[in-house]
């Protein structure tokens, strides 16, 4: 008789995880029922579905903060995602939560990001009736857009993806872990990338924050994680202490004022915005040219949303090529 490895793992979850963890056997399940896997739990399956999908691979050519950086060492949306997953799993494991659910949410949380980072997101936000939010779009990717049918993920993973932003309220603690890990990851790696770019230096970082959180990238991540663990161990919530949260928010505000709105870092953003706007308006007026996987949702969601879906799925370089193909005159042959 073949062993059902999944059942052994599910039993191990029941025996060893925190009473506040989300057990995979207790998942509310998928919109379309599928045959259980003999090896993997439902959440491991979701992680695998995400890692094997095309939207995930496209993250490598999407901007995190720096548009088309020349250096190979800047973060992309893909390496950001991996850093979030690593921080989130560290927290989940220490709190005895479900590490597989945590990883699945982390891997999927940014699938809906537009090309050119927040520049692209802001353009669609201003143009699309009903607005545009990357977390809502990540949910659309896994529910509908990937391969034209979506990934049919479990309720808990979809909930964690939708609610990963700061004001979100995920139903699982694993979702809260990813939300915190996302902020820890980007604040710290954006500082690192900004120093690499010569836009900030260690001396320019706010003194009090650095004293409390740490002087180096590694020290800061360690201190933030430790603070969350101390505050949340054996509790039915996951959060940062008030003191740490206050300094962390100051550091985040500092980045908003000195990096995210820095004219040098943003020098190419106007061009990226104009490019995204041109592509959106072009496809909205040539709706028949949308690929079939996007056209199929026009009846349900309208032409504007289907167009935004197509634009949002593009990588930075695909968007540039599309722009050149449509708008730039070609040489005579």
Q: Whose Cβ is closer to Mg ion: residue 182's or residue 316's?
A: 182
Q: In the chain, helix, strand, coil percent, each to 5? A: 65, 0, 35
CA 319 to chain CA centroid, Å, is 20
Q: Quote the CA–CA distance of 233 and 96 in Å, as a whole number.
A: 9
Beta bridge partners of 63: 76
| Interacting residues with Mg ion between 154 and 183 (CB under 5 A) | 182
The C-alpha angle with vertex 256 and arms to 123 and 266, in degrees rounded to 5, equals 50
Q: How far is the CB of 36 from Mg ion (least distance, A)?
A: 31
Q: Quote the CA–CA distance of 259 and 189 in Å, as a whole number.
A: 12
| Interacting residues with Mg ion between 55 and 94 (CB under 5 A) | none
Q: Whose Cβ is closer to Mg ion: residue 178's or residue 200's?
A: 178
In this structure, what token pair is assigned to residue 30? Answer: 């998928």
Q: Quote the CA–CA distance of 251 and 322 in Å, as a whole number.
A: 38
* Residue among 120, 117, 108, 116 nearest 56 (CA): 108
Q: Whose Cβ is closer to Mg ion: residue 79's or residue 278's?
A: 79
Residue span 178-217 as binding mask against Mg ion, x where in contact by CB under 5 A, dash where not: ----x-----------------------------------
Q: How far is the CB of 23 from Mg ion (least distance, A)?
A: 26
Q: Whose Cβ is closer to Mg ion: residue 6's or residue 75's?
A: 75
| Interacting residues with Mg ion between 264 and 323 (CB under 5 A) | none
Q: Quote the CA–CA distance of 121 and 134 in Å, as a whole number.
A: 7
Q: How far is the CB of 129 from Mg ion (least distance, A)?
A: 26
Which range binds Mg ion by CB under 5 A, 93-101, 110-118, 237-245, 265-273? 110-118
Q: How far is the CB of 282 from Mg ion (least distance, A)?
A: 29
* Residue among 21, 9, 47 nearest 153 (CA): 47
Q: Whose Cβ is closer to Mg ion: residue 100's or residue 110's?
A: 110
Q: Is 247 in the site for Mg ion (CB under 5 A)?
A: no
Contact 275, 283 (CB under 8 A): no
Size of the residue set binding Mg ion (CB under 5 A): 2
Which range binds Mg ion by CB under 5 A, 102-110, 141-149, 172-180, 189-197? 102-110
Q: How far is the CB of 31 from Mg ion (least distance, A)?
A: 25
Q: How far is the CB of 20 from Mg ion (least distance, A)?
A: 24
| 45, 47, 51, 52: CA torsion to nearest 10 | 10
Q: How far is the CB of 261 from Mg ion (least distance, A)?
A: 19
| Interacting residues with Mg ion between 124 and 153 (CB under 5 A) | none
Contact 125, 133 (CB under 8 A): yes
Q: Whose Cβ is closer to Mg ion: residue 64's or residue 232's?
A: 64
In this structure, what token pair is assigned to residue 320? Answer: 């540039």
Q: Among 110, 121, 247, 316, which residue sits at the site for Mg ion (rule: CB under 5 A)?
A: 110
In this structure, what token pair is assigned to residue 49? Answer: 């579905």
Q: How far is the CB of 182 from Mg ion (least distance, A)?
A: 4
Residues contributing to the site for Mg ion (CB under 5 A):
110, 182
């Amino acid at each position: 008789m073949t062993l059902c490895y999944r059942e052994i793992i599910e039993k191990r979850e029941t025996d060893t995880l925190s009473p506040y963890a989300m057990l995979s056997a207790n998942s509310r399940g998928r919109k379309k029922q599928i045959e259980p896997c003999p090896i993997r739990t439902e959440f491991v399956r979701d992680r695998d579905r995400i890692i094997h999908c095309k939207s995930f691979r496209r993250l490598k050519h999407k901007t995190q903060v720096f548009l088309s950086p020349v250096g190979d060492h800047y973060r992309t949306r893909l390496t950001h995602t991996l850093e979030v997953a690593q921080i989130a799993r560290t927290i989940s494991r220490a709190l005895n939560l479900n590490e597989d659910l945590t990883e699945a949410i982390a891997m999927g949380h940014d699938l809906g990001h537009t090309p050119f980072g927040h520049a692209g997101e802001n353009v669609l936000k201003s143009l699309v009736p009903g607005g545009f939010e990357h977390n809502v779009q990540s949910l659309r990717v896994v529910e509908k857009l990937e391969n034209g049918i979506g990934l049919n993920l479990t309720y808990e993973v979809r909930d964690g993806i939708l609610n990963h932003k700061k004001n979100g309220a995920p139903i699982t603690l694993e979702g809260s872990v990813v939300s915190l890990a996302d902020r820890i990851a980007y604040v710290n790696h954006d500082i690192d990338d900004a120093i690499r770019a010569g836009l900030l230096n260690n001396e320019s970082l706010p003194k009090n924050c650095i004293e409390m959180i740490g002087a180096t990238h590694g020290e800061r991540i360690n201190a933030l994680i430790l603070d969350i663990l101390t505050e949340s161990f054996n509790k039915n919530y996951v959060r940062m202490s008030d003191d740490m949260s206050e300094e962390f928010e100051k550091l985040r505000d500092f980045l908003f004022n000195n990096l995210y709105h820095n004219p040098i870092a943003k020098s190419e953003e106007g061009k990226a915005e104009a490019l995204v706007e041109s592509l959106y308006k072009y496809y909205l007026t040539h709706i028949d040219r949308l690929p079939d996987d996007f056209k199929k949702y026009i009846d349900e969601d309208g032409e504007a949303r289907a167009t935004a879906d197509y634009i949002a799925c593009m990588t930075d370089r695909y968007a540039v090529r599309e722009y050149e193909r449509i708008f730039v005159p070609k040489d005579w042959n």
